[in-house]
Amino acid sequence: MPIEKKKIVFTSHHGNGFGDSPKYIALALLDKGFKLVWLVRQKNQAIPSSIQQVEYGTKESLIELATAEIWIDNCRKRLYPPKKKKQVYIQTWHSPLRLKKIERDAEHDLPSAYVMQAKQDAKMCDYMISGSSFSTALYRNSFWFDGEILEVGTPRCDLFFKAPNRSLDRTKYVLYAPTFRENSSTDAYLKDFERIRVALEGLGYGEWKVWVRLHPNLRQGAATYDFTFSEDVIDMSDYPDIQELLNQADWLITDYSSSMFDQLIARKRCILYVPDEVAYQRQERAFYFKLDELPFPKSRTIQELEQVIIQWDETKYQKDIAAFQARVETYETGQATQKVVQKIQEICIGDSYV
C-alpha cells in the first residue's frame, strides 16, 4: 500500500481519548492541508469533525498507519504494521518531566514483554520531543533511542502560557489528582476535602470547590471507592483533558504524579500529599528526585496539609520553582506546538512516493 503524502495518524494512550501533546499538535494542523486521522477506542465528540476517527486496534487502523506519512504517539506502540523506510514516527511521550524512574532505569521492575516492546518501539522512532535538558539526557540514556531529539518544549503545556478564560467564573478550584498504586488501593488518598476547602476559604480567597480526578487505571471503579462527592467536591475523573483542568485550577494537590511538573511549568501552586512515601518507594518505583529536592511543599497528614495551605509563602515558592527549572534546564516557552508543526511541514516538503 502506497504512502499518502501529508497524512498523519495520531494515537494517545493506546486509543483512550483525545488529549495530551498529540491533541494540541493535531489542532494546530487543522488548517494546514494535512489529512488527520485519530485512532480511538470509541467515538469521541471532542474530536473535530475534520479529523477522521478510526477504531483503535482494527484492520482499518492498521491500514491507516500503513499508508500514513507520519505517526504521532505519546506511548509505546502496541498495534502497528511494519514501518516503511520513508515513514516518520514522532514520539511526544506523556510527561514533560517525571518523578518515578522509567524504561531502562526501571527495567528490572517492568514486565519483560514491555521491555521488548519498548526497545522495538525505540528502533522505529525517528524523533522524540523534549521539554528540558533533563529529559533529553533521559531519552538518550534510558529509552534505547538513537534518533533526533527535538528540544522545543512540551506541546500540551503551551496553554499554560495563555491566560485561562475565567471571566464569568469567580469560584476558585483546587484539583486533587493522585497517581495509582499497583494494587489499586486508595488507602493513602486524600478523602477529607471539606477540611481543605475550609482552610482555603479561611484565607479569604472566596468560594472554593474541589475537583477530584482519579488515574485512568482507577476510573472504571470510582463508584466503589470511599469518595463522597457533592456540589463542592466534584468527580472530574472522566473529563477528557487534564491539561484544561490544570489550567483552570488555582491549586494542585497530588502525590507522585507527573502532573506536579505541569504545575512547575505553569508556575502555579502545588502541594504533595504523601502519607505512604516510604512504602511507595519500597513497593512501587524508585525516584529520579528526592521529594525534599522538589520545589513543592510536602505533607504526610491532613493536619500538615492544612498547615501548608495556611502558612503558604508565595515568594519562597516562586523562588524554589525558578531554581528547579534552572536545574533541569527547561525548554518551555509556550511555542512547542508551533515548532513541532514547523518540523512536520519540513518533513513533508519535497517528499515523493511512487
Q: Is residue 353 part of a domain?
A: no
pLDDT of residue 283: 87
Q: Looking at the structure, do residues 311 and 341 belong to the same domain, yes or no?
A: no
pLDDT of residue 351: 53
Q: Looking at the structure, do residues 247 and 131 belong to the same domain, yes or no?
A: no
Q: Looking at the structure, do residues 19 and 123 belong to the same domain, yes or no?
A: yes
pLDDT of residue 203: 85
Asked if residue 213 lies in contact with residue 219, where contact means CB atoms within 8 angstroms, the answer is: no
pLDDT over 70 at 225, yes or no: no
- Residues ≥6 apart with Cβ < 8 Å to 2: 67, 353, 354
Q: Looking at the structure, do residues 339 and 324 belong to the same domain, yes or no?
A: no
Q: Is residue 257 part of a domain?
A: yes
Query: DSSP of 154-197, one letter per residue?
Result: -GGGGGGGS----TT---EEEEE-----TT---TTS---HHHHH
**Confidence at 331, pLDDT banded by 50, 70, 90:** very high
Q: Looking at the structure, do residues 118 and 167 belong to the same domain, yes or no?
A: no
Domain of 261, CATH number, reads 3.40.50.12580
* Residue with the larger pLDDT of the pair 226 and 144: 144
Average pLDDT, the chain: 93
- Specify the residue for cell string 491500514: 63
Sign of CA dihedral 131, 132, 138, 141: positive
Average pLDDT over residues 73-98: 96
Q: Looking at the structure, do residues 114 and 192 belong to the same domain, yes or no?
A: no
pLDDT over 80 at 178, yes or no: yes
pLDDT of residue 333: 97
At what angle are helices 259-266 and 314-328 packed, to 10 degrees?
A: 110
Range of the domain at 287: 161-328
Average pLDDT over residues 210-219: 82
| Maximal C-alpha separation, the chain | 69
Q: Is residue 70 part of a domain?
A: yes
Domain of 15, CATH number, reads 3.40.50.11820
pLDDT over 70 at 233, yes or no: yes
Q: Is residue 66 part of a domain?
A: yes
Grid coordinates representing 174?
483546587
**pLDDT by residue (tens digit) across 40-73?**
999 999 999 999 999 999 999 999 999 999 999 9
Q: Looking at the structure, do residues 75 and 174 belong to the same domain, yes or no?
A: no
- Apex CA 22: angle with CA 25 and CA 108, to 5°? 145
Q: Looking at the structure, do residues 69 and 86 belong to the same domain, yes or no?
A: yes
Does this model's pTM top 0.85? My answer is yes
The terminus-to-terminus CA distance of the chain in angstroms comes to: 11
Q: Looking at the structure, do residues 72 and 129 belong to the same domain, yes or no?
A: yes
pLDDT over 50 at 352, yes or no: no
Q: Which of 41-45, 196-200, 227-231, 261-265 has the lowest mean pLDDT?
A: 227-231
Q: How many percent of the chain have pLDDT more than 90?
A: 84
Q: Looking at the structure, do residues 213 and 230 belong to the same domain, yes or no?
A: yes
Q: How many domains does the chain have?
A: 2
